Amino acid sequence: MQATNPLRPFLASITDKWLLYYDLAGVRTLTIHKLYCKYGLAVRVAPNEVLFSDVSVVSQIYGQQTAFMKAPIYDSMSVPPMGIFSLRDKAAHSQRRSLLSHAFSQQNVNDCMPTISHKVDLLLNAFRHEQGAVTDVLLLFRLFSFEVVGELFLGTSFGALETGTAPQFMHDMDRHFLLGGIEWSFPWLAALLRMLPIPSLAHYLGARDRLAQFGNIALQDYIQRYGRDTKRKDLLTKILVPQGQAAAMTDRETFMEIGNLVFAGTAVFADPTSFFPDRWLVGEPTAGQKTMFMPFSKGTRACLGKPLAMLELKLVVLALMSRYKVKLPPQTTKDSMGLRDHFLVLPKSGKCELIFEPLERDVASKA
């Protein structure tokens, strides 16, 4: 989006590098929120980039006929061939989305219920081992998500919930976005770092290549075990077998998408930076709140995995809240749960530690 009016801050009209410090510090989102509070609903962050927190422009930016696509930085978020997450060309993105979207229909996701329910059972088993003790639920929930998508897109399990250990793929995903930002802002630095003969650094920088290799190996293993048209109750089969007259994606395009799929304003919300769950329970949301609440984005860029994510959320919340009461341990504080934003948003401490104690009726039933 071209900025033609003198929006502030002034430094942003000269360079986009001023924001790099806040990116590396993991506070980009909070910094931009402060800019909205100071300058209004439109702020410049680079010579040719303006951000909006304005209900009136949402449909123009996110609508089906929008002329606005993702920023050039997304070019650094993938390796060729580009996956749907990084595709910026409108026609190419539309074509790829049409090849993938049917796999995520509510019916197809519902067909996967037995697999997802089995993973919920494994998650509950992990909580049983931890009950009464301090538990890092961020880790367990992430492991659960990886286990679900592993079964649905790879036909296999990482074994993460049984071991309680994050697979290498998850570590590489976390590194991938930070590395993409560095390569976009300082390509010369990324090239220099790759030349240094330091094994640990080389391993860290190899995250993106390992993600691509992982997708390729996983796809070939799946095809060898099950074939292409398997009738399995998973989502990869739906992707391998295109609908109607659509041409199937190449294997390379498919395994790049596997990596993507295993991965997914002040004036509107009062006190938006505060943790206030009751805001969703008191009264009906306003039209502006409905418009600006976009956890899965909107329009042509809306998250394909929303039906799967919502099903997982409902099953997990029901399973846990019907069995446990939740307490806050002393080490979980406002500071430990502060925002750390390196494209993926995580708590500053890297953990979300809680204590889960069985409900009295659950204890009585075991007596």
Instruction: Return binding residues.
Output: 303
Task: Compute the CA torsion angle 91, 96, 98, 101 (nearest 10 deg).
Answer: -140
**Contact 139/332 with Cβ under 8 angstroms?**
no
In angstroms, rounded to a whole number, what is the distance separating the alpha carbons of residues 9 and 44?
Answer: 7
Helices 137-154 and 113-130 cross at an angle (nearest 10°) of 150
What is the phi/psi pair of residue 341, to 5°?
A: -120, 100
Place of tokens 């659509």: 246
In angstroms, rounded to a whole number, what is the distance separating the alpha carbons of residues 267 and 272?
Answer: 9
In angstroms, rounded to a whole number, what is the distance separating the alpha carbons of residues 214 and 223?
Answer: 14
SS3 169: helix
Closest CA to 150 of 207, 228, 235: 235
Binding site residues for heme, as ranges?
Answer: 303
Pairing type for strands 344-347 and 134-136 reads unpaired
Q: How many CA atoms lie within 13 A of 15 on its CB side?
A: 6
What secondary structure does DSSP assign to 268-325, as a single string?
TSSSTTS--GGGGTSSPPPHHHHHH--TT--GGGS-TTHHHHHHHHHHHHHHHHTTEE
- Secondary structure (H, E, C), 17-69: HHHHHHHHHCEHHHHHHHHHHHHCCEEEEECCEEEECCHHHHHHHHCCCCCCC
In angstroms, rounded to a whole number, what is the distance separating the alpha carbons of residues 325 and 308?
Answer: 26
